[in-house]
Structure 1
Amino acid sequence: MVHTTKGIVLRTVKYGDTSIIATLYTELFGIQSYMVKGVRKSTRTSAGKAGYFQPAAILDMEVYHNEQKQLQFIKNFEWGYLYENLLFDVKKNAVSMYVIELLQHTLKQPEANPELFYLIEDTLKQLDKGSDTLSANLPLYFILHLGSELGFRMQGTYHRDTPILDLQEGVFMHEKPLHPYFLDGSQAEITSQLLALHFYNDLERIALNRHMRRELLEAYHSYLALHISDFGEMKSLSILQEVLS
């Protein structure tokens, strides 16, 4: 059957002389791999079509879907959203590549999760339009909300009675845990503020220096690794930290 769905490109590899295999996170089917034939041809009708499948591209697609197969096929595709800045701005592009690699490390199963798709789509669109402050704070916001969509949302808020955030249990608590995976002080307070945000524009109000962002990013990576098996090392993290510094 042919289905209409949106998709966000996560990874593309060349296949044969003219084709590609693209992995996308789709609105209807979750993470899927597609054979896209002929898009690397140098003919007039095919020129430039491979550019649709660069990481972070948002596409509207007609796809053939067979649950018994691991490799699907795309019938038609077009831009679902045309970026104005993300592909050309160094900082925004670094953040987008970080978000895409983060998804590669965290999305393990093909099940659909429309709310997660909308989170990813909205994050990339807001990044494209947002200010430098929003772009710099966006990775922190995205990690926390990604964890929520994957089923391990942090519980509670920062308060004088609960000033410690236990990353292993994912809860604000009164006393430090026996293990080393926790945040306290300003790091716990800022995390509580980020968790409470409902709109991307509110990220403008959170003023962080590069050292605090670096420490929080590393802590949030520990948080993901504690809850996702084989999370692995993020290659884009060092690039992101350098660009945002």
Structure 2
Amino acid sequence: MQVSTRALVFSSVKYAEADLIVSCFTEDYGLKSYLLRGIMKSKKGKLRASLFQPLTQLHLEAIHKDKGTLERIKEAKVLVPYTTLHTQVVKSSVVLFLAEMLKNSIQEEEANGDLFEYISVSLQWLDAHEAIANFHILFLLKLTAYLGIYPDTSGMEYPYFNLLEGNFEKEPLGDYSESGDAVDTLKRFFGINFDDLEGTKTTKKQRFEALNLLLSYYQLHLQGYKKPKSLLVLNQLFN
């Protein structure tokens, strides 16, 4: 079946001598993997390896057999040209980290237009702004809503955050109740938008602890979650 859809590149891995296996989150068909034969050597074809950088937004013409095997891309073109995401060191590191997190978090082969739109618009915001030190924290917190694991904020005034239950508590209940500066910092990201980030000041230590708290939350609530390899580089850059 020939399909036409918007897509976000999650990863591309070299296969054999000149092939790529590309993982994309498509707007209309969810997560799909494609085998691009000979693309690393091709200079005249319609497909170029440079199109498949992390979180590039593409329009695809593809062949889907929907048999659990690798699909085929006939044509791809950049839908949203970035000006900074793949050229600025800090932003490209954020993009690598988020691409890895998204690939770990989204496994469904089904359409989710709201999630696709959220990722697309967020990346355009990141591309256009410079006050981005806290972007990845807010992005991941907001992402939990689309993954169905957004924390219950009805007890936000309480000092303890129960990672397992996903709510705030007056007293610690169980082994997964956390309190302290990391929880206080994470609370500052609830109910704000990306445009509010410029006024959200955090120290290196606060960012580090809040992010680790959020990643622990992901680990508890997402089956098959893997700690992102790019986290170390990201922390080094922001520190």
Task: Tell me the TM-score normalized by structure 1.
Answer: 0.89
Q: In the TM superposition, what is the alpha-carbon distance from 1:149 to its structure 2 partner?
A: 1.0
Query: Match for 2:135: what amino acid?
Result: L
1:137 and 2:131 correspond: no
Q: In the TM superposition, what is the alpha-carbon distance from 1:175 to its structure 2 partner?
A: 1.6
Give the aligned partner of residue 28 of structure 1: 28
Query: For the Cα contact (< 8 Å) 2:155–2:167, is it kept in 1?
Result: no
Task: Tell me the TM-score normalized by structure 2.
Answer: 0.91
Q: In the TM superposition, what is the alpha-carbon distance from 1:53 to its structure 2 partner?
A: 0.9
Query: For the Cα contact (< 8 Å) 1:38–1:46, is it kept in 2?
Result: no
Of 185, 205, 209 in structure 2, the residue corresponding to residue 190 of structure 1 is 185
Give the aligned partner of residue 218 of structure 2: 224
Of 201, 208, 214 in structure 2, the residue corresponding to residue 207 of structure 1 is 201
Give 3-state SS (helix, strand or coil) of 1:194's partner.
coil
Give the aligned partner of residue 159 of structure 2: 163
Query: For the Cα contact (< 8 Å) 1:41–1:47, is it kept in 2?
Result: no
Aligned identity (percent) is 28
Query: For the Cα contact (< 8 Å) 1:167–1:181, is it kept in 2?
Result: yes
Query: For the Cα contact (< 8 Å) 1:158–1:192, is it kept in 2?
Result: no
Give 3-state SS (helix, strand or coil) of 2:161's partner.
strand
Of 141, 144, 148 in structure 2, the residue corresponding to residue 147 of structure 1 is 144
Query: Match for 1:179: what amino acid?
Result: D
Give 3-state SS (helix, strand or coil) of 2:72's partner.
strand
Give the aligned partner of residue 176 of structure 1: 172
Query: Match for 1:214: what amino acid?
Result: F
Give the aligned partner of residue 4 of structure 1: 4
Query: For the Cα contact (< 8 Å) 1:30–1:112, is it kept in 2?
Result: yes
Query: For the Cα contact (< 8 Å) 1:12–1:53, is it kept in 2?
Result: yes
Query: For the Cα contact (< 8 Å) 1:165–1:172, is it kept in 2?
Result: yes
Cα RMSD (Å): 2.0
The C-alpha deviation readout for 1:94-137, integer Å capped at 9, x for no partner, is 11111011112222332222222122222222111111x3x211
1:235 and 2:229 correspond: yes
Structure 1: which 5+ residue stretches go unaligned? Answer: none
Give 3-state SS (helix, strand or coil) of 1:23's partner.
strand
Work out the CA distance in 2 between the residues paired with 1:207 and 1:4.
42
Work out the CA distance in 1 between the residues paired with 2:108 and 2:80.
26
Work out the CA distance in 2 between the residues paired with 1:21 and 1:158.
45
Change (3 A) 1:34 1:139: same
- Comparing 229-238 with 207-216, greater Cα deviation is found at 229-238
Work out the CA distance in 2 between the residues paired with 1:118 and 1:141.
16
Query: For the Cα contact (< 8 Å) 1:4–1:60, is it kept in 2?
Result: yes
- Say how many residue pairs are matched: 239
Change (3 A) 1:180 1:15: closer
Give 3-state SS (helix, strand or coil) of 1:230's partner.
coil
- Comparing 187-196 with 29-38, greater Cα deviation is found at 187-196
Query: Match for 1:150: what amino acid?
Result: L
Structure 2: which 5+ residue stretches go unaligned? Answer: none
The C-alpha deviation readout for 1:208-243, integer Å capped at 9, x for no partner, is 011000001111111001111231222111110100
Q: In the TM superposition, what is the alpha-carbon distance from 1:48 to its structure 2 partner?
A: 7.8
Give the aligned partner of residue 60 of structure 2: 61
